[in-house]
């Protein structure tokens, strides 16, 4: 068994953060997003993993290396042009050869892991597994259609009137028969938007009478491809995973409640931290309030400021930042401070969002 993880894409919905960084490296609960799917795969015991990359490959390589840290072997697969999830499967054929494989999107989080559909595939040996999850807005996604006996008969991309509550999240399992979809007179073709759709691969297998099982995946699923979704994913992982660990220095004037992590080398003085909240390494927090669902990355400095329900990336400074900052994503090396000047002064990149009080 092998695995592939899609870690390319432009991350246009997270600009300007993704102008300088791959969206799969955006921190969620102080961990790069890509590590969530990667660790899901490692937990299955799969040793050969293909990572699909684009021009941001060096940054991905810097995070994962050759995989030896996790006792796996990583092969990097270049995808110069994003032509859909089906195209990811197509360009991975040489790496996968005739091995069955798990395909995990690099920006999807499954709170309870992915062992259940994987074990179903191993035990029942279908030609493919379509994972499904209940979703209130499944009309925006691929939706499975079933016959009266509950057998999967088709997968429809963004149907107007879904017949059920299920949607297909970013986890797919196939054996080698899926590669037949790319050749012959019945070969799948790019859709109207010019991409090879993953749903077309499932429909090809169904039409050829291959065995395709739909397996409901348990737990919470998040696809943090947008600003609000990233904050929601951050909240979820802090709620589910965080356990108090104080490795830095916290003085007696500081009040801590709830699950809070303070990393090694960090110094907290005369402040209040309400969990769940995670503070990275070598962070300075002084005379400040850190509210629930806040992630602060390494080497940040927060002085006389208030912030909650936010993601602060590494090497950023918040000085005299009042009133309170809420529901924000602050990129690396950012500098936010209050001045005596009664006017506003901005240095803003493309696609930024700023809300000012009246």
Q: pLDDT digit string (tens) for 311-325?
A: 998 999 999 887 888
Answer whether residue 14 shows pLDDT above 80: no
HEC-encoded secondary structure of 149-163: CCCEEEEEECCCCCC
Tokens for 174, please give them.
């196939």
Instruction: For residues 297-314, give the mean pLDDT.
Output: 94
Q: Region 158-182: what's the mean pLDDT?
A: 94
In sequence order, what are the beta bridge partners of 312? 296, 330
pLDDT at 235 over 50: yes
Supply the pLDDT for residue 334: 83
148 vs 273, more confident: 273
pLDDT band for 31, please (50, 70, 90 cuts): very high
The whole-model pTM stands at 0.89
Of all residues in the chain, the percent with pLDDT exceeding 70 is 90
Q: Which of 66-75, 119-128, 153-162 has the lowest mean pLDDT?
A: 153-162
Choices 3.90.550.10, 3.40.50.880, 3.40.640.10, 3.40.50.1820: CATH for 2-234? 3.90.550.10
| 175 Cβ contact partners less than 8 Å away, ≥ 6 residues apart | 100, 101, 127, 128
Q: How far apart are CA 102 and CA 46, in angstroms?
A: 9
Strand partners, 213: 129
Top-confidence residue, 279 or 352: 279
What does the DSSP assignment read for 192-206? Answer: TTS---HHHHHHHHH
**pLDDT value of residue 19:** 47
Question: pLDDT (tens digit, 9 = 90+) per residue, 74-111?
Answer: 999 999 888 899 999 999 999 999 999 999 999 999 99
Distances 105 to 110, 216, 252, 284, 291 between C-alpha atoms, Å: 11, 17, 45, 35, 31
Does the pLDDT value for residue 198 go beyond 90? yes
Check pLDDT > 60 for residue 16. Answer: no
pLDDT band at residue 224 under the 50/70/90 scheme: confident
Whether 11 has a pLDDT exceeding 50, the answer reads no
Q: Where are the domains of the chain?
A: 2-234, 243-337
Compute the distance between CA of residue 177 and CA of residue 199 in angstroms, rounded to an integer: 15
Task: Report the CATH superfamily, name and number, of domain 243-337.
Answer: Hexapeptide repeat proteins (2.160.10.10)
Rounded to an integer, the average pLDDT of 175-203 is 94
pLDDT value, residue 55: 85
Report pLDDT for 347. 53
User: If phi over 0 gives left and psi between -120 and 50 gives alpha, with beta otherwise, what is residue 324?
Assistant: beta
pLDDT-based confidence at residue 51 (cuts at 50, 70, 90): very high
Model confidence at 8: pLDDT above 90: no
DSSP H helical ranges for the chain: 35-43, 57-64, 85-91, 93-96, 115-124, 198-207, 227-241
């Amino acid at each position: 068994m092998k695995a592939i993880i899609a870690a390319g894409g432009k991350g246009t919905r997270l600009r300007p953060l993704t102008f300088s960084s791959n969206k799969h490296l955006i921190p969620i609960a102080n961990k790069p997003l890509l590590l969530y799917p990667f660790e899901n795969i490692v937990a299955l015991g799969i040793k050969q993993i293909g990572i699909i990359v684009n021009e941001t490959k060096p940054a991905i390589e810097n995070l994962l290396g050759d995989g030896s840290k996790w006792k796996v072997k990583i092969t990097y697969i270049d995808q110069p042009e994003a032509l859909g999830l089906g195209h990811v499967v197509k360009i991975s054929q040489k790496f996968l050869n005739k091995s069955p494989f798990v395909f995990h999107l690099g920006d999807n989080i499954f709170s309870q892991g992915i062992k259940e559909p994987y074990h179903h595939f191993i035990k029942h040996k279908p030609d493919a597994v379509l994972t499904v999850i209940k979703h209130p807005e499944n009309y925006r996604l691929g939706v499975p259609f079933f016959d009266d006996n509950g057998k999967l008969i088709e997968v429809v991309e963004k149907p107007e009137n879904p017949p059920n509550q299920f949607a297909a999240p970013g986890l797919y399992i196939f054996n080698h028969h899926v590669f037949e979809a790319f050749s012959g007179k019945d070969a799948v073709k790019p859709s109207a938007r010019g991409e090879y759709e993953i749903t077309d691969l499932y429909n090809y297998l169904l039409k050829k009478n291959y065995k395709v099982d739909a397996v409901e995946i348990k737990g919470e699923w998040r696809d943090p491809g947008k600003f609000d979704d990233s904050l929601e994913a951050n909240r979820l992982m802090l709620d589910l995973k965080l356990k108090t660990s104080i490795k830095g220095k916290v003085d007696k004037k500081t009040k801590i409640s709830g699950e809070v992590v303070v990393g090694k080398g960090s110094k907290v003085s005369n402040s209040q931290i309400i969990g769940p909240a995670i503070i990275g390494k070598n962070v300075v927090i002084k005379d400040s309030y850190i509210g629930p669902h806040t992630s602060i990355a390494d080497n940040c400095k927060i002085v006389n400021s208030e912030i909650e329900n936010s993601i602060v990336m590494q090497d950023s400074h918040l000085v005299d930042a009042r009133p309170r900052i809420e529901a924000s994503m602050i990129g690396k090396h950012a500098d936010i401070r209050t001045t005596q000047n009664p006017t506003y002064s901005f240095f803003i990149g493309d696609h930024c969002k700023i809300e000012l009080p009246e």
